[in-house]
Amino acid sequence: MRAFLTLFGLTWGTTAIMLMLAIGEANKNMMIKQMSYLGENTVSLRPGHTTMTFKGLGKYRRIKFDIEDVDRLKSLSCIDTAGGQVNTGNINMRYKNKEAAFDLAGIQPTWAALRNVLVNDDGRGINQSDVIKKRRVAVLGNKIKDTLFGKEKAVGKNIFIKNSPYLIVGVLKPKYEATFFKEMHEDTAFIPITTFMTMFNYNYIESIVYKPKNIAENKQTLSTVTHFFARLKSFNPDDKNAIRIWDMADSSDFINNFTLGLQVFMGIVGVFTMIVAAVGVANIMNVIVEERTKEIGIKMALGIKRRAVMFQFIFESFLFIIIGGVFGFIISKIICAGLKIAHIKGMGEPEVTLYVALITTIVLGMAAFWAGFFPAKRASQLDPVEALRWQ
């Protein structure tokens, strides 16, 4: 019974460490994957309002981007490419007798490229010629396609957006489920930015996304861009609220730190569970030494050396922990496989990787040595005469 409970503790400890590390790792990978959908090493700029006076201009002045600002930004030598976007929510879309409200975005093709907006192979994205000619073409988010068309093919059909007909030229590839980042586009329809601005009578755009030419000089580029817009729109370059900046490189640092913290925390919980289990093993080994005192005495009389006695008990506690560890490993594998099938949102795909197995093995080995060492030392230092007398 005692052995069984200890074994259970060991199995549980191993499972806890492995699962926590595996889930932590999965979470990190998932976040990194989601990040990449938003476009790696891109910087997003949204106009805000001033909070500092500048050259006689007051505070709380709205800053606005117009479509020409994208080309102005592109002309900077440190910019690789840039794209603009404008959007609005809750727009009625209709196909035959089905209708529903979704988000609508007007985009430049460069924006789509920078944001990894990927279109299924049977269609195409918004292109430059669509923008120049203000065509009424649309690319649908996969959720819109599913709602309005079901299994029916959408490309080549017409839908009505705000009662105007649009030709569907493409449907988005389904992306990884969004949890951490909102902007996943599955319920957005994309049309050329020029078409959008004419249709809604917009003079300004919502945001600009750019990619620096030299990623290593990301910070410098950002400063150049800020100063460029500060001169253009007349605001203090130190005014952080005039343009709101979302730098993906910053976000990936944040995610790395966040998930590392999460893993460390989960790991610590697992390690503590393991310590409790190891104390159990130490306890049981002490009882075993006591129960086998007579046997140790006999073996000593027959000439066993102290280190051989010690080795025997350390070996036995290792055996205990290895059995517990193997059970824990198997259970973790099964649970990970189960979680993969269940596909729980926000969990990612936990897997017992080499890294997870290695850390667990190290922790287990340390626990086994610690649990076995002291009882084994006690056994090896028994007085042979006393041990032989033991009843």
Partner 1 sequence: MNNSVIKVNNIVKEYNTGTVSVAALKGVSFEIKKGELIAVTGRSGSGKSTLMHIIGCLDQPTRGSYFLDNIEVSSLHPNKLAEIRNLKIGFVFQSFNLLPYLSAFGNVELPMIFAGIEKNKREKRVNELLELVGMSERALHKPTEMSGGEQQRIAVARSLANNPEIILADEPTGNLDSKIGESIMNLFMKLWESGKTIIMITHDPKVADKCQRKIELLDGEIL
The DSSP output letter for 162 is T
- Which residue from 5, 132, 319, 385 is in contact with partner 1, where contact means CB under 8 A? 385
- Asked if residue 388 binds partner 1 (CB under 8 A), the reply is yes
**Residue given tokens 């030598």 in the structure block:** 77
Pick 71 or 295: Cβ nearer partner 1: 295
DSSP H helices in the chain: 2-37, 67-74, 109-114, 128-132, 142-149, 193-200, 218-233, 248-291, 293-301, 306-342, 354-380, 384-389
Bridge partners, residue 243, by sequence = 47
Pick 233 or 292: Cβ nearer partner 1: 292
Q: How far is the CB of 312 from partner 1 (least distance, A)?
A: 12
3 state SS of 81: strand
Pick 68 or 295: Cβ nearer partner 1: 295
| Number of Cβ atoms within 10 Å of the Cβ of 95 | 21
Q: Which stretch binds partner 1 (CB under 8 A): 91-99, 191-199, 301-309, 355-363?
A: 301-309
- Which residue from 153, 306, 319, 355 is in contact with partner 1, where contact means CB under 8 A? 306
Q: How far is the CB of 291 from partner 1 (least distance, A)?
A: 12
b/e for 119-134, b at 16 or more Cβ within 10 A? bbeebebbeeebbeeb
Q: How far is the CB of 354 from partner 1 (least distance, A)?
A: 38
- The residue count for binding partner 1 (CB under 8 A) is 17
Residues 270-299 that bind partner 1 (CB under 8 A): 294-295, 298-299
Q: How far apart are CA 59 and CA 239, in angstroms?
A: 10
- Asked if residue 310 binds partner 1 (CB under 8 A), the reply is no
Q: How far apart are CA 338 and CA 284, in angstroms?
A: 34
Q: How far is the CB of 385 from partner 1 (least distance, A)?
A: 5
- Which residue from 300, 356, 368, 376 is in contact with partner 1, where contact means CB under 8 A? 300
Q: How far is the CB of 300 from partner 1 (least distance, A)?
A: 7
Q: Provide CB contacts within 8 A for 34, sequence distance 6+.
A: 176, 178, 179, 180, 181
Q: Which stretch binds partner 1 (CB under 8 A): 141-149, 199-207, 276-284, 380-388?
A: 380-388
Is residue 375 within 8 A of residue 313, CB to CB? The reply is yes
Pick 366 or 388: Cβ nearer partner 1: 388
Q: How far is the CB of 324 from partner 1 (least distance, A)?
A: 23
- Asked if residue 319 binds partner 1 (CB under 8 A), the reply is no
Q: How far is the CB of 255 from partner 1 (least distance, A)?
A: 57
Q: Which stretch binds partner 1 (CB under 8 A): 176-184, 195-203, 303-311, 328-336?
A: 303-311
- Asked if residue 301 binds partner 1 (CB under 8 A), the reply is yes
Pick 144 or 300: Cβ nearer partner 1: 300
Pick 123 or 384: Cβ nearer partner 1: 384
Smallest Cα–Cα separation from 95: which of 140, 128, 50? 140
Find how far residue 268's CA is from the centre of its chain.
21
Binding to partner 1 by CB under 8 A, coded x per residue (else -) over 220-259, reads: ----------------------------------------
Residue count of the chain: 391
- Estimate the crossing angle of helix 193-200 against helix 67-74, to 10 degrees: 150
- Which residue from 1, 216, 302, 342 is in contact with partner 1, where contact means CB under 8 A? 302
* Pair of tokens at residue 313: 């008990």
72, 237, 238 from 242: Cα distances, Å: 18, 8, 9
Q: How far is the CB of 301 from partner 1 (least distance, A)?
A: 5
- Asked if residue 307 binds partner 1 (CB under 8 A), the reply is yes
Q: How far apart are CA 42 and CA 215, in angstroms?
A: 9
100, 120, 327 from 124: Cα distances, Å: 23, 7, 51
Interface residues with partner 1 (CB under 8 A) are 294-295, 298-308, 383-385, 388
